[in-house]
Structures are given as structure tokens and as C-alpha cells.
């Protein structure tokens, strides 16, 4: 009997079981991503809370904030902590996306060589363990496996939304994070690749349109800079 049950609905036997062709059910709370297309592809239907979510970027500034915008804007209380982001975050831009400046906390690198990374990891662990922040975004380039495991454990102790942002090259390395997504820029939006998820393997990246929030005022237009050049000095390729 159990055999047939296992074949029909494995999740009825144990919530941690799922078939390779279906998305897993998560026991943790999930926050809606704000993009129905993306939510449908994630186990639990959103960003899991109290878990490490890895975002793998080819470079900084490909649209990672616009991807997280609906979720971060939905965090009504509790601060959003940015730990050692690569550049200065601009409160004005985030406010325009609906994230209140009073919620933002920016933890800057201390500038001490060698301790920079350990300071960031320490701060992240303290924030996760205290559990009194709404979301934590941590930027790290090189992280060792045991550090990742430790952070993932710390994340599980609370209900904080935890995004770990790493370079795309780290997709090759093993990671304890149950959800790993790669974010690539694409014309008019971003493409999300599913490196790891509790669900079927998906090779084709998912396209998410993002641009309307950026270029709201103007339609995208192919324009060349109007260079005021004397005649015949402009290359033919530019004129075309």
C-alpha cells in the first residue's frame, strides 16, 4: 500500500519527499517574489525565509536590486541590511523602488586587509542569529564551504530573508544553499538561470522583463550620441 502511495503522491508520505518532475514543498515561509512567472518556478512559490538563497551575478549592477524590489518593498518592518556591497548603495534609487531609506542599514568594509571578509561574515552571522532584521544581503567573492554551511545554519535559526550574492564563477562550486539562481542581463530585463533548486532540472533560463521600472519615461530607442562633427570626419559605420 505504501508503495502505491509513494508512487502516487510521495509528499503525502513525508513532506520532505518529492518527485524529480515536480517542485518540492517547503516547510518554511516564503515571500512572494512579485513576478508570478518566477514564483511559479520556485519551490514554495517565493523566496524562502530562514534559508540561504544564492544569487550568482556575472558582474555587479545587472538588475539584482530590481529583481528583489517587490520583495524588499514588501518588508513592512525590520531593517534591510546590506553587508559590504561592492559600491555605495544609493538610498534615493532604492526609495524610488519603494524601499524606505529608514529601513536600510549599510555595513561598509572596514578597510582592514585580511579581516574584511571575516568581519562581513561575523556581522552576517550576528544579524541572522539575532533574527530582528527583515532581510540580509551579503556580498562575498570567495567563501569557503564551511563558512557557507555555518551561515546557512545561522539563517535557519531565524526567519530572516537571506540573499548571498556571489560571482557567477562560483556556480561550479558546491554550496549548501537550497536555492541558487544565476542572474544575467538580457534585452529588456534579466534572465534567471536555475543552478540549483528543489525541483526538476531546468536548463532554459527564465526571462523576466524589468526595464519598465528603469526607463519608465521613455520607450527604449536606438539612438546614437549626436556628435557635432565636421563633415567627413564621421565613420560610415556610425552614420548607418
What residues make contact with another protein under the rule CB under 8 A?
58-66, 77-79, 85-97, 100-102, 104-110, 119, 122-123, 126-127, 130-134, 159, 185-188, 214-218, 220-225, 227-229, 234-235, 237-238
Which backbone phi and psi does 184 adopt, to 5 degrees? -120, 140
Residues contacting residue 61 through CB under 8 Å, at least 6 positions apart: 87
**Cβ(49)–Cβ(31) below 8 Å:** yes
Handedness of CA 30, 210, 167, 119 (dihedral sign): negative
CB of residue 202 vs another protein: minimum separation in angstroms?
21
CB of residue 122 vs another protein: minimum separation in angstroms?
7
CB of residue 78 vs another protein: minimum separation in angstroms?
4
Q: Considering the complex, state which of residue 5 and residue 90 has its C-beta at the smaller distance from another protein.
A: 90
Q: Considering the complex, state which of residue 5 and residue 116 has its C-beta at the smaller distance from another protein.
A: 116
- What is the DSSP code (8-state) at residue 215? S
Q: Considering the complex, state which of residue 114 and residue 225 has its C-beta at the smaller distance from another protein.
A: 225
CB of residue 218 vs another protein: minimum separation in angstroms?
6
Query: How crowded is the C-beta side of 111, counted as CA atoms within 13 Å?
Result: 0
Distance CA 33, CA 26 (A): 15
CB of residue 88 vs another protein: minimum separation in angstroms?
5
Q: Considering the complex, state which of residue 49 and residue 199 has its C-beta at the smaller distance from another protein.
A: 49
Query: How crowded is the C-beta side of 115, counted as CA atoms within 13 Å?
Result: 5
Q: Considering the complex, state which of residue 2 and residue 235 has its C-beta at the smaller distance from another protein.
A: 235
**Beta-strand relationship, 206-209 and 189-196:** antiparallel
Amino acid at each position: 500500500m505504501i508503495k502505491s502511495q509513494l508512487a502516487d503522491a510521495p509528499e503525502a508520505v513525508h513532506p520532505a519527499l518529492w518527485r524529480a518532475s515536480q517542485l518540492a514543498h517547503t516547510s518554511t515561509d516564503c515571500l512572494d517574489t512579485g513576478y508570478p512567472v518566477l514564483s511559479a518556478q520556485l519551490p514554495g512559490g517565493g523566496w524562502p525565509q530562514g534559508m540561504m538563497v544564492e544569487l550568482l551575478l556575472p558582474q555587479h549592477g545587472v538588475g539584482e536590486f530590481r529583481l528583489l524590489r517587490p520583495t524588499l518593498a514588501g518588508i513592512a518592518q525590520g531593517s534591510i541590511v546590506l553587508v559590504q556591497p561592492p559600491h555605495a548603495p544609493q538610498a534615493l534609487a532604492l526609495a524610488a523602488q519603494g524601499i524606505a531609506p529608514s529601513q536600510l542599514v549599510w555595513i561598509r568594509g572596514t578597510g582592514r586587509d585580511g579581516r574584511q571578509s571575516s568581519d562581513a561574515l561575523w556581522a552576517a552571522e550576528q544579524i541572522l542569529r539575532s533574527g530582528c532584521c527583515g532581510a540580509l544581503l551579503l556580498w562575498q567573492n570567495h567563501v569557503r564551504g564551511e563558512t557557507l554551511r555555518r551561515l546557512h545554519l545561522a539563517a535557519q535559526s531565524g526567519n530572516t530573508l537571506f540573499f548571498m550574492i556571489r560571482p557567477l564563477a562560483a556556480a561550479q562550486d558546491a554550496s549548501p544553499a537550497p536555492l541558487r539562481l544565476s542572474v544575467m542581463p538580457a534585452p529588456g530585463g534579466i534572465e534567471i538561470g536555475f543552478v540549483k533548486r528543489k525541483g526538476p532540472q531546468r536548463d532554459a533560463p527564465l526571462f523576466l522583463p524589468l526595464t519598465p521600472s528603469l526607463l519608465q519615461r521613455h520607450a527604449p530607442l536606438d539612438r546614437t550620441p549626436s556628435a557635432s562633427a565636421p563633415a567627413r570626419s564621421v565613420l560610415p559605420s556610425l552614420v548607418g
